[in-house]
Amino acid sequence: MGRIESCFSELRTREERALVPFVTAGDPNLSATEALVLAIAEAGADLIEIGVPFSDPLAEGPTIQRSSERALRSGTTLRGVLGLVKNLRSKIDQPLVLMGYVNVFLAMGERNFAAAAKEVGVDGVITVDLPPEEGELFFDSLIEYEVDPILLASPTTGESRLAELADKTRGFLYYVSRTGVTGARKEIAAGLEEAVSMIRRISDVPVCVGFGISTPEQIAEIGRFADGAVVGSALVDLIEAAETPGPAVVAASEFVAKLKHALR
């Protein structure tokens, strides 16, 4: 049993839902990201999603686009992100999931990347722009090296497609709560509970909901019907507003603690 599967199993025995914070690796630099990840792990994060910066992150709103720009300006590379995971792996037990755009991974080669990810302790990979039909070699390489390929579904995904995605994903299914790009919203999208219920009828795979989730109240609502919630832009906003790493770590830790409290 991998770390992600084990994490959800343990949470179910405690009747808890997973909090999955997102940070962009290298924003503002990799040493700051390491401190941030350690802090949010201590504050209650159950899984941690680490964004691999990319020059053209089409699924992201302005907040995460700016974080990618800052990370790239600081010299962050995929190999640097893998080095970050290696440093973190000996210090925390939480599953670590890389989220990025496929060109970054393909530049290393499918099997080379999968082997490197396994070696440093990556538990899962989300590729925002790679559907299963076009990613067989990449996803098969990850599975060969015991790294979970985590697939995404959205409000436009039909029932037959949901069944296919739920069957092929590993670890959990990432449900994008709304169409459009990432970014904090004042309210969660309508129809989420019904969408997750549809997935439940098809599969017992854990479902985590992301995009537009930013407050403890929204987290608590998601926790009523989903297995976990992903919070990205709201956390990255705090990091950006802090301007220097020290205050950013404190603000991120306090925010994650409030979010996790809402899921208990």
Q: What is the CATH number of the domain that holds 132?
A: 3.20.20.70
pLDDT of residue 181: 43
**What is the pLDDT at residue 79?**
98
User: Residues 154, 175: contact at Cβ < 8 Å?
Assistant: yes
What pLDDT is recorded for position 260?
Answer: 96
Angle, CA 218 vertex, CA 97 and CA 174 arms, to 5°: 30
Q: Residue 181: which H helix or E strand, with range?
A: none
Position 182 in a domain:
no
Six-digit token string for 225: 């019907």
Q: What total of structural domains would you count in the chain?
A: 1
Query: What is the rounded CA–CA span in Å between residue 207 and residue 103?
Result: 26
Per-residue confidence in pLDDT tens, the chain, 264 aa: 899 999 999 999 999 999 999 999 999 999 999 999 999 999 999 999 999 999 987 777 888 999 999 999 999 999 999 999 999 999 999 999 999 999 999 999 999 999 999 999 999 999 999 999 999 999 999 999 999 999 999 998 999 999 999 999 999 999 998 644 444 445 566 688 999 999 999 999 999 999 888 899 999 999 999 999 999 999 999 999 997 999 999 999 999 999 999 987
In a domain, 163, yes or no: yes
CB 20 within 8 A of CB 51: no
> Does residue 183 lie within any of the structural domains?
no
Tell me, yes or no, whether 220 lies in a domain.
yes
Structure confidence at residue 32 (pLDDT): 96
Looking at residue 218, the DSSP 8-state letter turns out to be H
Chain centroid, CA 200 distance in Å: 21
- In a domain, residue 212? The reply is yes
Q: Can you give the pTM of this predicted structure?
A: 0.94
Evaluate whether residue 132 is within a structural domain.
Answer: yes
Domain around 215: 3-177+191-263
Angle at 57 between CA 44 and CA 134, to 5 degrees: 100
CA dihedral 166, 130, 121, 28 (to 10 degrees): -120
In a domain, 186, yes or no: no
- Residue 245: inside a domain, yes or no? yes
